[in-house]
Structures are given as C-alpha cells and as structure tokens.
C-alpha cells in the first residue's frame, strides 16, 4: 500500500467523521431513502435542482452506516452539484470506486455504492421512470 492509498484512506475517515452537507435540505426537489439489507444501514439523499430542472444544485444526506457508505455519501454531495440528471444516470460502480480512491473488496462494494444508487433511483422516480418506495443494494 503506497502513500497515495493512505491519503485516500485518511480522506474516507475524514468524510466519515466530518460529513459534508449532512442533514436535510429545506426545500428539496426530491429525496429518497435506501438500505443495504445485509447490514441494515440506511442513507437518505435530498437533491435540489436548478431552475432548468436538469442540473443538480445542492445535495445533502443523512443516515447511519459504516465508514465507506457514509464517506461515499458525503463525497457524492460534493461531487454531484453541477452535474445534470443525465450525467448522474451514467455514473456506475467504477466511478464511485474512483471517487473513493481505494480498492474496495467485493464485500464492501454494496457499502460504496449505496448512496449512488439512492440518488440515481431518486432521480428516476422524480422523472417518472421508476416506481419504488425504497432502494436496496440487493441485485
């Protein structure tokens, strides 16, 4: 494990201990909640879109879970503003792993992608493409 990897691990711990954009938005365009059923950890994501109805303006999250799931949610709240809903829909697991910057074991992939799946499903529900109460990371 090189220095670079250590730096990313520190960054994950920092996001876990000092989550960015934690809490609820006052007037979200949509919010959605999801759970990793293997552990019961949950994440709720609130998204406010810009006036064009396409561009993500603000994102916040709340929830309980392991360091990777919570850090991933915290990092996403910083990464998503400025992206369009189309760009969001194209994000995949590799993008989340790249964002985290460390190797994620297959066991922890569900932790890493929980927030991404929640916000993607929330966007699809908002756009009328999906009818779902709660997201789970069960495939």
Residue 65 interacts with ligand FES (CB under 6 A): yes or no: yes
Q: SS3 sequence, 76-134?
A: HHHHCCCCEHHHHHCCCHHHHHHHHCCCCCHHHHHHHHHHHHHHHHHHHHHCCCCCCCC
The residue within the footprint of ligand FES, chosen from 36, 60, 74, 120 (CB under 6 A), is: 36
Are the C-beta atoms of 76 and 64 separated by less than 8 Å? no
Phi, psi of 119 (to 5 degrees): -70, -35
Least Å distance between CB 99 and ligand FES? 16
The residue within the footprint of ligand FES, chosen from 12, 45, 49, 68 (CB under 6 A), is: 68
Residue 41 interacts with ligand FES (CB under 6 A): yes or no: yes
Residue 31 interacts with ligand FES (CB under 6 A): yes or no: no
Measuring CA to CA, how many Å separate 21 from each of 52, 77, 119?
22, 6, 14
Site for ligand FES in 87-126 (CB under 6 A): 111, 114
Least Å distance between CB 40 and ligand FES? 7
Residue 47 interacts with ligand FES (CB under 6 A): yes or no: no
The residue within the footprint of ligand FES, chosen from 69, 74, 120, 135 (CB under 6 A), is: 69
Are the C-beta atoms of 42 and 28 separated by less than 8 Å? no
Residue 39 interacts with ligand FES (CB under 6 A): yes or no: yes
Least Å distance between CB 20 and ligand FES? 18
Phi, psi of 47 (to 5 degrees): -130, 130
Binding site for ligand FES (CB under 6 A): 36, 39, 41, 65-66, 68-69, 111, 114
């Amino acid at each position: 494990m090189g220095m670079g990897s250590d730096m990313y691990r520190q960054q994950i711990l920092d996001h876990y201990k000092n989550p960015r954009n934690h809490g609820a938005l006052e007037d979200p365009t949509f919010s959605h909640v999801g759970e990793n059923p293997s552990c019961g950890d949950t994440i709720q994501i609130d998204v406010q879109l810009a006036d064009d109805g396409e561009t993500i303006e603000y994102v916040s999250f709340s929830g309980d879970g392991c360091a990777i799931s919570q850090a991933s949610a915290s990092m996403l709240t910083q990464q998503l503003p400025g992206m369009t809903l189309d760009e969001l829909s194209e994000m995949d697991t590799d993008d989340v792993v790249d964002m985290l910057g460390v190797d994620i074991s297959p066991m922890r992939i569900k932790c890493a992608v929980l927030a991404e799946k929640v916000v993607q499903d929330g966007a699809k529900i908002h756009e009328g493409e999906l009818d779902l109460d709660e997201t789970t990371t069960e495939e």
